[in-house]
């Protein structure tokens, strides 16, 4: 079934999932994007769906995702459920002819990702995956500097991504671990910022913050070296605990100079005293740090559908960070560099 014609002038969404990220997207659509409207919402927790519907003036609370897919008034769906449901929901939405915005990753399984992408292609609909950091103004400026040749040919890249506190152990079990859950954003950023594909990764990781991670076969601290086709080398470091706040930084060194971006702060104030000069702590977590990038990614998705323009983050884009994450875990387990083509099947 091919995608149906849209209702004139506005994109009508069905929202699947009323959790933390679902709330972020619902508020963007309701309060910041007049070109879009949420026509219906559903969640396994009906009370959460009802509360969000009231908050964002959503007219219909559906009993299931199937009800949303069957609604002819809905043009696109926003999938904000747990990762293990994404692939199946994408396939069902595609079959129903709905355009799709899905949170990352599509799946922890390449086979399931490929099945979803095949369903999207067969349906002729648009799919965007929520790698929101591409839409942060600082990182967009870094990409511009590289793409324009402003800093010359890149040779070294360093990405820092550290959370303010580790998640509960119950979160880790279905997450896929630090490479598939946390560093997957940085894998996407690495190829986006450099504008080149990664050929090989080498990973090191440990449990240095929360001893309980050992029982979950996961790590709270990780470092990955990435080698690009161009010869450029990158490092990505992740930690589940940076006590001062959400630590999100990038530096790229090129033949004509470097470009770097630091953390975002709640204000620009610098306090100078007799013994020290200091600022307030950085923004504390991703919902504060990436408020604008969450809004921009939905704005561009809506525009791409309404105006039939290319999607800024495609399904193919979303597959590669999963390959990188699987290669990183293989590298860690086998204590050796791993080429992406070893796991990219």
Mean pLDDT computed over 116-130: 97
Query: Which residues are bridge partners to 247 per DSSP?
Result: 162
pLDDT for residue 16: 98
Of 172, 203, 206, residue with least CA distance to 186: 203
Dihedral angle over CA of 36, 37, 42, 45, nearest 10? 100
Q: Tell me the pTM.
A: 0.94
pLDDT for residue 286: 87
Rounded CA Rg of the chain: 21
If pLDDT is split at 50, 70 and 90, which confidence band does 209 have?
very high
> Do residues 135 and 293 lie in contact, with contact meaning Cβ atoms separated by under 8 Å?
yes
Q: How far is CA 88 from CA 29, 73, 119, 210, 302, in A?
A: 24, 22, 10, 33, 23
> Do residues 252 and 157 lie in contact, with contact meaning Cβ atoms separated by under 8 Å?
yes
Q: What are phi and psi of 230, to 5 degrees?
A: -70, -15
Task: Express each pLDDT in 170-198 by its tens digit.
Answer: 998 889 999 999 999 999 999 999 999 99
Rounded Cα–Cα distance for residues 245 and 38 (Å): 33
Q: What letter would DSSP give residue 166?
A: P
Strand, helix or coil for residue 135? helix
Task: Express each pLDDT in 135-177 by its tens digit.
Answer: 999 999 999 999 999 999 999 999 999 999 999 999 988 899 9
Q: Give the domains, in start order, of the chain with CATH numbers.
A: 11-129 (3.40.50.720), 134-284+321-342 (3.30.360.10)
If pLDDT is split at 50, 70 and 90, which confidence band does 6 have?
low
Task: Express each pLDDT in 23-56 by its tens digit.
Answer: 999 999 999 999 999 999 999 999 999 999 999 9
Query: Which residues are bridge partners to 12 per DSSP?
Result: 37
Tokens of 166: 């580790």
pLDDT beyond 50 at 1: no
């Amino acid at each position: 079934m091919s995608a149906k014609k849209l209702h004139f002038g506005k994109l009508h969404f069905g929202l699947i999932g009323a959790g933390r990220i679902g709330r972020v997207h619902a508020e963007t659509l309701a309060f910041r994007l007049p070109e879009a409207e949420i026509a219906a919402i559903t969640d396994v927790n009906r009370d959460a769906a009802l509360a969000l519907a009231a908050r964002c003036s959503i007219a219909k609370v559906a009993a299931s995702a199937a009800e949303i897919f069957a609604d002819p008034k809905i043009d696109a769906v926003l999938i904000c459920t747990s990762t293990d449901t994404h692939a199946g929901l994408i396939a069902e939405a595609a079959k129903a002819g709905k355009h799709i915005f899905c949170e990352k990753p599509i799946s922890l399984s390449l086979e399931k990702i490929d099945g979803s992408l095949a369903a999207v292609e067969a349906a002729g609909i648009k799919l965007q995956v929520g790698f929101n950091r591409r839409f942060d103004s600082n990182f967009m400026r870094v990409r511009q500097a590289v793409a324009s040749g402003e800093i010359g040919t890149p040779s070294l890249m360093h990405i820092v991504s550290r959370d303010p506190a580790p998640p509960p152990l119950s979160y880790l079990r279905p997450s896929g671990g630090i490479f598939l859950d946390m560093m997957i954003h940085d894998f996407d950023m690495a190829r986006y910022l450099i504008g080149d594909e990664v050929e090989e990764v080498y990973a090191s990781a440990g449990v240095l913050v929360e001893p309980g991670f050992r029982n979950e076969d996961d790590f709270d601290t990780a470092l990955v070296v990435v080698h690009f086709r161009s010869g450029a080398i990158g490092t990505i470091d992740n930690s589940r605990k940076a006590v001062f706040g959400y630590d999100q930084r990038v530096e790229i060194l090129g033949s004509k100079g470097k470009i770097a971006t630091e953390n975002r702060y709640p204000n620009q104030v610098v306090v100078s005293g007799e013994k020290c000069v200091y600022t307030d702590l950085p923004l504390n977590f991703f919902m504060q740090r990436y408020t604008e990038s969450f809004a921009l990614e939905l704005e561009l998705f809506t525009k791409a559908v309404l105006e039939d323009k290319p999607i800024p983050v495609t399904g193919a884009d979303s597959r590669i960070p999963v390959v990188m994450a699987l290669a990183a875990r293989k590298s860690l387990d086998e204590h050796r560099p791993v080429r992406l083509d070893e796991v990219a099947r």
